[in-house]
Every structure is written in structure tokens, then in C-alpha cells.
Amino acid sequence: MGPNDLVSVIVPVYNVKQYLEECFTSICNQTYQHLEIILVDDGSTDGSGDLCDELVKRDLRSRVLHKPNGGLSDARNYGLRFANGDWVSFVDSDDFISPVFVEVLLKACLKTGCQISAVPFGKPFDDGDQCALVNSADSVVAATALLSSNVQNLMLYQALDTAAQWRLYANDLLGTDPFPRGLYYEDLASIYKIIHGVDSVAIVDCRDLYAYRMRSDSIIRQEYKHIKGESALKIADQLYRDICNWYPNLSKAAASRCFSVCRMVFAQIPILANDFLVRGDSDELWHVLKEYRRVVLFDGRARKRERFAAGIAHLGKTPFRIFCLLCRAFGLMR
């Protein structure tokens, strides 16, 4: 691998017509030019697919793949099948990136010998607001290579985000269909497994490389659906078993992350839910919260918000539900 490697940038597209051009332009304007830009139209119904067709005419390095709607994971996996790059990055179609995003992450991998580079988080901004990003690679701090076990620990305690975007991956590391189809919170389900496949990760401590748009219709703000509870339960169970098997010393950290995702989803369930499946989700999520609440409460490394929530959980299901609803109403504890 070298400084002239091809980087494939995969952009899943679904009903984001008003944001797509800004995203596409930010990728085309990268200082690192040896790119392959793959737009994956995931069965859009708002004209995004037609816009994709127009945009790719502007840059010979780009192309569009049209497919029936299958969700974010399916779109990413589909794009990967056509990616020719030595490296792969994913950019969400309602976000945009700094002009030095690819340059910085690729240099981080090449200088450290890591197969993955990442920033800890994107730079969040509310839909409709402006978001300024860094324009020069010289102003970005040098990458630090962290052992994969340390990266797992930081992700589990949410000091590093688990999002698939704002990272660069060696293509051969990802394999076939790394993102689980049909589940919400697919990044939480997949990224820890990908990290487990490497010895170390190059961390670039600069949020100003990736602009992360906060939308009012995001999954976390949508009405509760059974798939949310089902996804959280499946992912939490698998994550805890995997982490305890691979890194026994991270069992407390895994408990903290499982508690967090189940707490977040539990808070979205309406008090007077009539649906049988939804009521079942409530009971199962509460069972998991009870299982982990003591470990989280007495774990000094857990986030304060999770420890506080774990303390409330010891008062019982009804007080905890009221607490969650109040937090959700005031935008707290996310």
C-alpha cells in the first residue's frame, strides 16, 4: 500500500435530495484525488435517484448504483461489492466532509501501519445551521495508534463513537456484507467486530473533519417500533458475549454499553402501549437493564449519565420509566 492507493467512498442514498449535492461536492473536492465515488440509490422515492444520475456526470470518478430499498446496511454492503479501492470510507448522504478528510485518514494509516483510521466523533450540527470544517491537513494533529483492545474499551464507554462513517478501512478487512441487514443500530453491531480483526487503529483527534447533520426525523427521534427493541436486544446480547469471550477484562465496559443502548430504546416506548410485541419489548429490555444496573452503578469508568440511570433503575421499573420519559422530553440522557 502506498500514497497513490485508490480510495472508494461509498454513499448510501435514500430520500435525501435536499442534502445530496452538498455531500457529493464535498467528496469531489478532496485534496486526495485518487478516488472512486460510489452513490448507492437505495430505492429513493423523492427524486434522489435522478439527482444521483445528474451528479455523477460532473465527475468521471463517480458512478451510481440503483437498487430496491433494503436499508442503510444493505446499501453499504451493496456498494462494497462494487468497490475497487484499496481503502474504503463511508459517508452518509445528509452529511459532508472536510476537503482533507481522505488525505488525513489515509496518511494516518500509512504512517502508523494501521488498517483502520478514524476520528473519535463527527462534528454535530442541527439541520439548517452552518458547520465549518478544517481546510488544511497541516492544522490536524498527528494520528495515534491505539491497540484494538484499547479502542474497544473506549467505544464501549462511548469515549469513541461506533459509527461506520468518519473512518477509513483497508478494503480486504471488511469482507462480504459486514453490516447486518434488517436491524437498527447496525454500526454498534458491526464496528466492534471489524476492530477485533486488527491489531491497532490510528486515531486522529479532530472532529472538524466530518460534519454530522442532526435531523428531526432521525431514527432515535422517530416513533417507537418493535424493530428498535428487537435490534437493541439482539445486538446487546451478541456484543456482550463476544466482548467477554475476546476481552474478558472488558466485561464491565460491555455491560455499560449494553445498558446504554437498552436504556435509550426503553425510553422511547410509550407508557400506554397496546401492541403485544411492544409490551414484550418493554419487559425484555427491563430485564436486561436489571441485569446490568448494579455493574454499571458501581463502575467508576462508566459515563456519569449511565451510572445515574442505573441508580434510578434500582428504584424499580415504574420510577425508571418516568425518569426516562422526563429525560426524553427535555432532550437529556441520549
Looking at residue 215, its pLDDT comes to 80
For residue 124, count other CB atoms closer than 10 A to its CB.
13
| Long-range Cβ pairs for the range 109-112 (8 Å, 24+) | 109/1, 109/168, 109/170, 109/202, 110/1, 110/2, 110/3, 111/142, 111/143, 111/202, 112/143, 112/145, 112/200, 112/202
Structure-block grid coordinates of residue 64: 451510481
What the chain holds in terms of domains, given with CATH numbers, is 7-214 (3.90.550.10), 223-329 (no CATH)
Looking at residue 331, its pLDDT comes to 67
Between 311 and 328, residue with greater pLDDT: 311
Do the beta carbons of residue 23 and residue 11 sit within 8 Å?
yes
Rounded to an integer, what distance in angstroms lies between the CA atom of residue 7 and that of residue 46? 29
Looking at residue 326, its pLDDT comes to 84
Q: What is the pTM of this model?
A: 0.94
Tens of pLDDT, residue by residue over 79-120, are 999 999 999 999 999 999 999 999 999 999 999 999 999 999
**Residue length of the chain:** 334
Structure-block grid coordinates of residue 168: 477509513
Rounded to an integer, what distance in angstroms lies between the CA atom of residue 323 and that of residue 54? 49
Between 216 and 88, residue with greater pLDDT: 88
